[in-house]
Structures are given as C-alpha cells and as structure tokens.
Structure 1
Amino acid sequence: MNAGRRNLPQLLGEARRWFEEALLAALAATGARPVSPAQAQLFAVLGEEGATVAELARRMGVTRQTAHQAVHGLVDAGLLERVPDPASARQRLIRRTPEGERVHGQAQRVLGELEDRLAERIGPARVAALREALEAPWGPPPSPQVRVPLV
C-alpha cells in the first residue's frame, strides 16, 4: 500500500459519513427531530421484528451502554418502544413505533435519492460495482495469523 494512500476502512468510513450527514440534514429539513449518528445507526440495524439492546449493540459494534443510550433517546423521541420479549421474561425487545416506522420509511426514501445523486456524480456503473463488492460474501475476518511484513 502506498504511504500517502488512505486505507480502505478510512474510505468506507468517509463514504458512510457522506450518506449519514446528508440523511440527517434532509430529515432535519423536513422538521424531524434531530438524531445523533449513533441513533441513526441503531435505527438502521433494527429489523421489523425488534431486537434486544444487547443484540443491537452487537449489530452496531458498540457497547451495550452506547446502544442503551441511543435507545433511550429514541424512546424519548417517540420513535422506539420497549415491549416484552416473548422468548424471555427477563428481556425487552426494542421496536419502532408507528411514528418510527414513518420516519424509517422517509429515511429509506432519502437514502435512495442519495444513491441516485451519487450515481450522477461518479456514474451508475461505479455505484453498481460498489454495491456488488459490498454485497459479496467476504467470509469471516482473517485470523490473527495474517502475515504483515516487518519493515
């Protein structure tokens, strides 16, 4: 890898922030209550069936405390609710409220528009290739035995 070249995780992070900043700005322009990037990420990984805070933390790659804080803010905003987990009397599932479903649908539409704008800027073939590469199965992360040349 070239010394001055940004690594792939940096580039992926910048791309994610591009979408995130544009999404949050578009939602704010519609009068939606502002959410933090962590709250937006939580909203994105929450499926229709709901999930526990521990599962959301795992999907987000953050601590339970961070996920809990994001959940708390979104519950206070009326976008999420806590309901009993039918699989465990001790657990609570986090699910979208009807207002949360409305905002989620709005966010999905905005993201589609942003993808279209990106295609206008860098070309539809590049966006399609990017999507194809990201959707391809990567397999589990490499084991610690990956050899890194010593300099």
Structure 2
Amino acid sequence: MQSNRRNLPQLLGDARRWFEEGLLSALEAAGAMPVTPTQAQLFAVLDDRGTTVSELARRMGVTRQTAHQAVHGLIAAGLLDQTPDPASARRRLIRRTESGERTHGQAVAILERLEEQLADRIGRETVAALRTALETPWGPPPSPAPDGR
C-alpha cells in the first residue's frame, strides 16, 4: 500500500512556490516589470559585488544556459547589466541596475509581508521553528553506504 504522505522536498517545493507566486503577483500589482520564477530566483542569489553567470547557475542549481537566458532577459528589461570582471578579462560580472535595485528592494519588502501573512496563518512560533530548522547547517548530503544504501 502506497502512502499519501508527501516527502519533505515536495513540501519545501510547495512552500517555495507559495512565496514565488505571492511575490510575482504583488510585483505585478505594484506595476513592476514582470519576471519569471527563474528570473526572481536569479535576483535572490545575485550578490552586490556582481556575480558571473556560471556562479549564478551553480547557486540556482540550473544549467549555465538557463542562467544565461534569465540574465539576458533581465538585461533586456533594464534590471541587470554586465561589466568586465577586474580579476579576469574573460569573465563578466552581472549586477543590478538602478531600476533592478528598486525592484529588488520592492521584492524584499514583499517577501517580509508574505512572511508576516504566513505567521498570521500558521502561527509565529511555527514560522520561527521553520526558520530555525532551515537556518541550521545540515552538512553535506550523505554519501551512499558501501552496500549501496
């Protein structure tokens, strides 16, 4: 008999989609440039100093091609730009434009409101426990045992 219990990765994926859908709909309602979930994720992993496309892909867990497409869509929208990497003539750094900084600021504020709404729905203690569990270092993923388990 198969259990209907969903595994933790499925539940975490649903939670992520809840925040993404709330964020994207709130940004759209505020008149911000529409972005895809992949582009929103890219914004979340982009650091202020600038980040290469390869590093963005690694942080997002996607292919370099997927990250490259998301970057170029955001460049075309005027939210990101590319600059030469002072450490390497072959690499380019991806950074937010002024408009991208404004949009990022809006997104941060929206995510804070969504977290407050979640706390109102499921309880502040539950949200605090969830945050604590997710902020606790998990260590590297386990390696398979020598017997394949």
Aligned twin of 2:39: 39
Counterpart-to-counterpart distance in 2, 1:146 and 1:127: 38
Note the residue ranges of structure 2 that are not aligned, 5 or more in a row.
none
Aligned twin of 2:10: 10
State the TM-score, normalizing by the size of structure 1. Answer: 0.95
Aligned twin of 2:104: 104
2:128 maps to 1:139: no
C-alpha offsets along residues 63-93 of structure 1, whole Å, 9 cap, x if unaligned? 0000000000000000000000011000000
Displacement of 1:3 in angstroms is 1.5
The number of residues matched between the two structures is 148
| Distance change in 2, residues 1:102/1:147 (3 Å) | farther
CA RMSD of aligned residues (A): 1.4
Aligned twin of 1:93: 93
Counterpart-to-counterpart distance in 2, 1:120 and 1:140: 33
Q: How does 1:28-107 map to 2 (within 5 A)?
A: 28-107=28-107
Q: What one-letter code is carried by the residue in structure 2 that aligns with 1:27?
A: L
Counterpart-to-counterpart distance in 1, 2:28 and 2:59: 25
Counterpart-to-counterpart distance in 1, 2:146 and 2:111: 36
Note the residue ranges of structure 1 that are not aligned, 5 or more in a row.
none
Counterpart-to-counterpart distance in 2, 1:30 and 1:50: 26
Displacement of 1:4 in angstroms is 1.2
